[in-house]
Amino acid sequence: MKRKKLLWIMTTAALFFACAGIIALCQEYGPDVIYIDNTTKATLRYLPVEFNHQNHQADYDISCVTCHHTNDEDFVSGVPPVCSSCHNMDADITLKDAMHRNCVLCHMDMVAEGMSPPTECLGCHEQRP
């Protein structure tokens, strides 16, 4: 009986530390800031979006797979593919559409929870001079 209890405690502790390590790795992965530049005709009036990657990971506890939704082997090894490698002008969901779906919908959910993220275009996009 003692053996089973000890095995259960050791297994639980190992799982806890493994999960904590994965969460810590995800929160510290990637550059602090990413510049999203979708230079299509419609977006030539805006500068690239300065996306605070670290802030979104740490402060808002957003999982990597929320945005990097892929089964690509490179992602599993720690290097997610560039969004535009799939979301390009030939794709069903372009980069602009993908960003707006993720960002705008998430920001609207935050508003519903009483937070105040940017919800207007110029909250994230800066106009070109």
| Ranges of the chain whose pLDDT falls below 70 | 1, 5-28, 39-43, 70-79
Taking the C-alpha atoms of residue 35 and residue 49, their distance in angstroms, rounded to an integer, is 5
Q: Helix, strand, or coil here: 50?
A: strand
pLDDT for the residue 27: 47
Topology of domain 31-124, per CATH? Cytochrome C3 (3.90.10)
Amino acid at 126: E
pLDDT for the residue 98: 87
pTM above 0.75, yes or no: no
The residue written with tokens 């089964």 in the block is 71
pLDDT for the residue 97: 87
pLDDT for the residue 114: 94
- Residue pair 96/48 in contact (Cβ under 8 Å)? The answer is no
List, in order, residues 6 or more apart from 106 with CB less than 8 Å away: 62, 66, 117
